[in-house]
Structures are given as structure tokens and as C-alpha cells.
Amino acid sequence: MTVLEGKSVFNDVCMGTISFYKRKESVIKRYKIEDTEAEIGRFEEARDEAKNQLKELYEKALEDVGEANAAIFEIHQLMLEDLDYCESIENIITAQKVNAEYAVGATADNFSAMFRAMDDAYMQGRAADVKDVSERVLKVLTNAEDGVQVLEEKVIIAADDLVPSETIQLDKEKVLGFIMQHGSANSHTAILARSMGIPAIIGLGDSLSESMDGKFAIVDGFAGKVYIEPDEATMAAMQKKQKEALERKELLQQLKDKEDITLDGTKIKIFANIGNSADVGNVLKNDARGIGLFRSEFLYLENSDYPTEEQQFIAYKTVAENMAGKKVIIRTLDIGADKQVDYFNLDKEENPALGYRAIRICLTRQDIFKTQLRALYRAAAFGNISIMFPMIISVEEVLKVKEIIKEVLDELRQEKIPFKEDVEIGIMIETPASVMVSDELAKEVDFFSVGTNDLTQYTLAIDRQNQKLEPFYNAHHKAVLRMIKMAADNAHAEGKWIGICGELGADTTLTEEFLKMGIDELSVSPSMVLEVRKRVREINLR
Ligand code: PEP
Ligand code: MG
């Protein structure tokens, strides 16, 4: 038996086979070849195979998601037949006497740079498509496996760390738990594990190796340990622990339908965070009073192109309708930093967390922002939707957002498209700047929601993704808690409400402190709703 130790992000036990997440190899080697004819033949064969794959994908998508959404695979097939594209690859092979992989990679870079430089937004968007089809050809050429996991049975997913675009591709029904070499408590793998209510251990370092793929393991999320090929005594002890955890979960179920109220009668609302409409089932199962954070960017991450107004409208409307009148706070897209989407064609940045992300993208690429706002205001007519904006640093940004909203509503009015006018709007308090001007911001919005994941990152200057910084990281740092208090006081001074939607909101050792600050709402992973309710109901503030 081998024992690995890391940091747990969710308390539970699971046992099963380890499956290492397979990622496509994107490093392309350049080497000289003699027989250019044979090399062109290799390219042509790979291209034809890629076209066959796209044809199959098109047919599957046609059945699953309809013609409009399947069309992208047809466009990709046509791209592979494009004469300029194929000639460029063949010319590079012949002129430079180099391998087909290199020629495909270089052509993809050249063509996507050319598309990106065009004036037309549609053509700019095609840069990602060229990259995408070329990746497909490269995968055939190099026999690389796709990153998408087709899971046959329930497994424990192992990886260095997963980015959001990878986690969304997983078949969640088949995931028992996560074990990661890197990652941090606020990384998106951790957030996903909590929202799924499954154990996850991060920061296992090199002790977790690919040689463990296929081995039986137990993940003990209470102790932060992974047992590879456990002995009998460990197996028995863990089975007992797993049974106890299940009993505790069942006990918590008794808190369903109970009020979120302290012993002295102080009320707080316990809401849940979601990433997509499929998570609503978990929200209702755990009896959250509403949705405090719908991370809308996951809609963008799931797509291979900008989601249309209609697609978004249906997603938001579905969530609002399923929540049947309960509040649903939808955050506008928070792309950038660790949430990268190819078709946004964002430049590589030195400091992505301090870079072009979230509201900064929305305010400069208003076409994308307006499409989302139109969908949101239209969907708001079907339920109790509030809208919130991420990464705000100034009052000017909020005023600009309000100006854009006004334009969007004028357009909808002119087009006679139904929408709800008086939608509650709020901002995320997740930058120290927003805390410092929260007195002024409170005058402009209806509510605040504290994003403690980013607020902690920016206040302590600790990258939330960097596991090496864990020793310096103190989730209960006074500076962060004082900032939350300051924002709460400023919100209340203007008669506005304030919630917490970052991971700290679920930290039950802080629940009493949050209640004392007068926090009005805590939005936590669905799996934590009843835990937090239990804690609230034990507290006596007097
Ligand atoms: C946060 O920063 O606390 C937050 C809730 O947003 P995200 O984790 O999606 O950045
Ligand atoms: Mg954030």
C-alpha cells in the first residue's frame, strides 16, 4: 500500500480505480525529411481521416443538438478542403523539406494570424476554427489521444490540475473523486468537486504519478490522504468512515425545509452556486433558497463559438423557471485568467489574473456583452433573475455598464421583444479597489456579493492557482475579513444587501463572524448548503 498526502477540498470518502486525465500533446517538433512526396501523402491521409471524423461528429450533433449547432462541423470539413490551406502545407513540406506536423502547425499559425488581423468580427472568429481543424489533423498525424475522457466506469480522476474547459468535458456521472498533483483550494477543480459533493485532494505533487493509472485507490477527503492498493485494515477503516459520512449526509437531510435562522432569531439566506443549468437539480435537492452565483462563463466554455442570444436566453430562462420564483443571480461572463476560451482569441499575457478579463472584456467588446444582456433581460421575464457584474474596480465602470444596459433595453423596446425592466443589479466585491470605494458603489447598485476567492488573491497578492504559495495562504487573514466588514457596513449604510459567494462563505468556522457583520446571504456549493444551515441554527449571537 502507498499513502499519498495532500490537501483536501471536500470531506468525503470514495474508492475506485484511478484514471489519469489524458491531454493532447501540443508541442510540435520540426525535423528534416527526404521524401517530400511521401510526406505530402501522410498529410493527405491525415486530412482525409480528420474529415471523416468531422463527418461523424456532424451526424451525431445533428441528432443531439440540431442543424444550426451541428453546422460548425460541416464548416470545419470545408476548411480542410480549402485550396490555399492545403497548398500552404504542401509548399512548406516541399520547400523546407520538413515533416507534415510542422507544416500543418506553421500553416495554422499563419492562417489564424491572418484571420485575426481582419476587420470583420466574424472572420476574426474563424482564427480559432483554423487552429481547431489543424489540431485535429495533428492528432491524427501524431496518434495523440483526445483530452476528452470517455469513461466506461466510475473512476477517480487524476491529473496535474484541470482547467475549467477540461472539467466541463468530463462525464460527471462517472467521477468518484479527484486527485491532483497541483491545484489550490480555490482552483476550479476544487470548486467543481465541492459543487458535485465528491472528495478531492490537491497538491499531491510528484508522489502522484502516471504509473498509478488503473490502480485501485481510496480517497480520504477528511484526512487529505490517498491510499493506493490499500491493505485490508485500511480498507475496513475507510469503509467505516464512508458509512459514517453517508449517515451524516442523511442526518443533514432532516434540515431540509428548516429555516436559515440562528437561535436568537437572526435570519440569513443560504443560496447555492452553479456553473450550468444541469446543477439546478442539486440546488433543489439540497434545499437552497436561491442561486447566489450562476457562473455564466461556463456556457461560453462549453461552446466552440460564441453562444448565441437564443442559446443563452434558453439557458437562463430554464434555470429561472426551474427555480420557480426563487432568486437566481446570474453573473455576466467572467472569461480570462484561468478561464480561457479559444474563440475569444485573447492574447497571451504576462499576468493573466491582473489582465484583460471579465468586465474589462465586456466593456471593450460590447457586441458580446450586449448579446448576453439581451438574453438576460429577456429571460428575466420568466422568473426572479438578478444580474451581477464581476471584477469591478470603479464607479465609472458601473456607470458605463448601466449606460450599456439602457441601450440594450431601448433596442429591445424598439424591436418589441418582451423583457423585464426592473431587474435587480449588483456587483461582485472581489478587488480591494471595490472595497475601498464600496461607499460610492453602494449608491449605484442594488446589492454586493463578495467573491472571496479573488478578493483573497488580490488582497494577499497570492495567486489562487499557485499551490506553492499554500504555506503563505491564510484564508482567515484579518485583511480579508476587515474588507468584507467594510463592504458590509457600506452596503448597509445605503440600505443595500450583501452576500458572500466565494468559497469562504461555506467555511463554517466563520459563519458566526459573518452573521455578526450582518451578512445577508451566503452562497455556497450545493453540497454545503445543509452543513451551513446546521451551523447557522446552532449559533446564538446574544
Ligand atoms: C470569487 O472570486 O470568489 C468568485 C466567486 O468568482 P470565481 O471563483 O468564479 O472567480
Ligand atoms: Mg472571481
CB atoms within 10 A of CB 188: 26
Three-state DSSP at 144 gives: coil
Residue 319 has pLDDT above 90, yes or no: yes
In Å, the largest CA–CA distance within the chain is 85
Active site annotation includes 188: yes
- Residue 437, class by beta-carbon neighbours within 10 Å (0-12 exposed, 13-18 middle, 19+ buried)? middle
Q: Which of 187, 273, 389, 430 to mutate to test the pocket of ligand 1 (most atoms within 8 A of CB)?
A: 430
Distance 40 CA to ligand 2 centre (A): 48
Tell me the mean pLDDT in the region 246-256: 91
User: What is the residue with the minimal CA distance to atom 6 of ligand 1?
Assistant: 451
Three state DSSP letters for 408-424: HHHHHHHCCCCCCCCCE
* Closest CA relative to residue 149, chosen from 167, 127, 123, 124: 167
Three state DSSP letters for 66-101: CHHHHHHHHHHHHHHHCHHHHHHHHHHHHHHCECHH
Q: Which of 9, 339, 393, 453 to mutate to test the pocket of ligand 1 (most atoms within 8 A of CB)?
A: 453
User: What is the residue with the minimal CA distance to atom 1 of ligand 1?
Assistant: 451
What pLDDT is stored for residue 58 in this prediction? 82
Q: Which ligand does the CA of 189 lie closest to? A: 1
Reported residue count of the chain is 542
Are 403 and 362 contacting, i.e. CB atoms less than 8 angstroms apart? no
- Closest atom of ligand 1 to CA, residue 390: 6
Q: List, for residues 11-41, the tens digit of each pLDDT value.
A: 899 999 999 987 655 567 788 899 999 999 9
Distance 34 CA to ligand 1 centre (A): 53
Residue 238 has pLDDT above 60, yes or no: yes
Cα(first)–Cα(last) distance of the chain, in Å? 51
Q: What is the DSSP letter of 333?
A: P
Residue 197 has pLDDT above 90, yes or no: no
Q: What is the DSSP letter of 261?
A: B
The pLDDT-based confidence of 422 (bands split at 50, 70, 90) is very high
Q: List, for residues 162-191, the tens digit of each pLDDT value.
A: 876 677 667 888 899 999 998 777 777 788
**Rounded to an integer, what distance in angstroms lies between the CA atom of residue 21 and that of residue 1?**
23
- Residue 338, class by beta-carbon neighbours within 10 Å (0-12 exposed, 13-18 middle, 19+ buried)? middle
User: What is the residue with the minimal CA distance to atom 9 of ligand 1?
Assistant: 295
User: What is the residue with the minimal CA distance to atom 3 of ligand 1?
Assistant: 451
Catalytic member of 14, 188, 362, 476: 188
Task: Give the pairing of strands 424-429 and 155-159.
Answer: unpaired
Q: What share of the chain in percent tops pLDDT 90?
A: 70
Are 18 and 230 contacting, i.e. CB atoms less than 8 angstroms apart? no
Q: List, for residues 331-376, the tens digit of each pLDDT value.
A: 999 998 888 888 998 888 989 999 999 999 999 999 999 999 999 9
- Cell match 479597489: residue? 433
Residue 387 has pLDDT above 70, yes or no: yes
Q: Is 334 in the pocket of ligand 1 (CB under 6 A)?
A: yes
Q: What is the DSSP letter of 155?
A: E
**Rounded to an integer, what distance in angstroms lies between the CA atom of residue 196 and that of residue 50?**
35
Tell me the mean pLDDT in the region 98-110: 91
Q: How many helices (H) and strands (E) does the chain have?
A: 20, 16
Task: Give the pairing of strands 291-295 and 521-524.
Answer: unpaired
Are 141 and 42 contacting, i.e. CB atoms less than 8 angstroms apart? yes
Proportion of the chain in helix, strand, coil states, percent, rounded to 5:
55, 15, 30
Tell me the mean pLDDT in the region 325-331: 97
Are 526 and 274 contacting, i.e. CB atoms less than 8 angstroms apart? yes
Q: Is 224 in the pocket of ligand 1 (CB under 6 A)?
A: no
* Closest CA relative to residue 376, chosen from 407, 340, 408, 400: 408
Q: Is 430 in the pocket of ligand 1 (CB under 6 A)?
A: yes
Average pLDDT of the residues of the chain: 91
Q: What share of the chain in percent tops pLDDT 70?
A: 95
Distance 330 CA to ligand 1 centre (A): 13
Three-state DSSP at 481 gives: helix
Three-state DSSP at 493 gives: helix
What pLDDT is stored for residue 131 in this prediction? 79
Backbone φ and ψ for 106, nearest 5 degrees, come out as -65, -40
Distance 538 CA to ligand 2 centre (A): 30
Q: Is 297 in the pocket of ligand 1 (CB under 6 A)?
A: no
Residue 212 has pLDDT above 90, yes or no: yes
**Which carries the bigger pLDDT value, residue 294 or residue 160?**
294
Provide the angle, in degrees to the nearest 10, between the axes of the packed helices 309-322 and 366-379: 40
